[in-house]
Amino acid sequence: MKIRGERECKNCGTRWSYYETGEASCPDCGSLRSVAVEDERRHHTDSPAEIDLTPHRTALADGEDILDIADSVASDCRAYLRKRGFLRGGELLPLDDTYLAVGELRAAITDYRRDARFGAEYDDPDREAAERYLLDLLQGADDGERPAPDEVPESLAPARGLAYAAAVEAYRDDEAAYLDDAPDEDARRTLGRIRDQGKRLEALEGDLPPETVESLVRACRDLYRYLNGEESALATARQRLDGLTES
């Protein structure tokens, strides 16, 4: 979506940036009557968003079971992800760890809750590993702390894969819009290869080794670095994608 981000309140004259606040109302008087004070429309998909998982961590410390808080955790994660994007006033943002971790937490805790509802059986070690992993995610997702690929339990690997596939798709869409304004055919072709690998991951329902999934995330970040002037990062992205094609 392209919008004019700089606004001036018709009621009190205050100027503010919609790109920074995400608010259509005047920050001083609350009026919704404003006019644009710039002519250029810019791609903008990101809104200010915060997520604080502290209440859920407190509930667990007070004796709640992880299944008791699963729905509310997933709801908070969804609310955060809905606000997030990767274009701010025409500027391309990186695919950040908080977005990835929150997306994974939403997917993993939803899957775990669903399995419990339908009576899926876990061996005790598998259940303990899954719960321990969910607790690790819950402990640090809001600060962008992501467990390493080799820490993902087998039962939750597809959840991580699908969460990252969704993140890559969202990022790819915004990066494509960015390239509409700043054309680069090499970047566009590489982005197409990222899309193909993301679709493959979706088709496999996330069921690829976490190390392989991580390579796709890193390819997205390599392309971001290239678009920000690091020429050698394009070759690195292509090498990662070559490896994914062969796996």
- Tens-digit pLDDT profile for residues 61-81: 999 999 999 999 999 999 999
Q: What is the pLDDT of residues 129-164, one digit of tens each?
A: 899 999 999 999 999 999 999 999 999 999 999 999
Please report the pLDDT score of residue 5 as a whole number. Answer: 77
Distances (CA, A) of 102 to 49, 51, 52, 137: 12, 9, 11, 8
- 34, 71 in Cβ contact below 8 A? no
Summary mean pLDDT of the chain: 92
Q: Is a pLDDT exceeding 80 seen at residue 118?
A: no
Provide the pLDDT confidence category of residue 121 given band limits of 50, 70 and 90: low
- Least trusted range by pLDDT, from 1-5, 117-121, 123-127: 117-121
Q: Region 170-193: what's the mean pLDDT?
A: 97
Q: CA-CA distance, 79 to 44, in Å (whole number)?
A: 18
- In the predicted structure, residue 246 carries a pLDDT above the cut 90: no
The three-state (H, E, C) secondary structure of 168-194, written as one string: HHHHHHHHHHHHHHCCCHHHHHHHHHH
By C-alpha distance, which of 220, 170, 169, 178 is closest to 237? 220
What does the pLDDT look like over 222-236, one tens digit per residue? 999 999 999 999 999
Domain boundaries, the chain: 2-40, 54-246
3-class DSSP state of 143: helix
Taking residues 39-59, report their average pLDDT.
Answer: 91
Local confidence band at 123 (pLDDT 50, 70, 90 cut-offs): low
pLDDT at 122 over 80: no
The whole-angstrom separation of Cα 188 and Cα 185 is 5
Q: What percent of the chain has pLDDT over 90?
A: 73
Lowest mean pLDDT among 15-19, 118-122, 179-183, 228-232: 118-122
Top-confidence residue, 222 or 33: 222
Q: Compare 59 and 19 and report the one with higher pLDDT.
A: 59
Residue 124 has pLDDT above 80, yes or no: no
Nearest to 37 by CA among 66, 72, 3, 73: 3
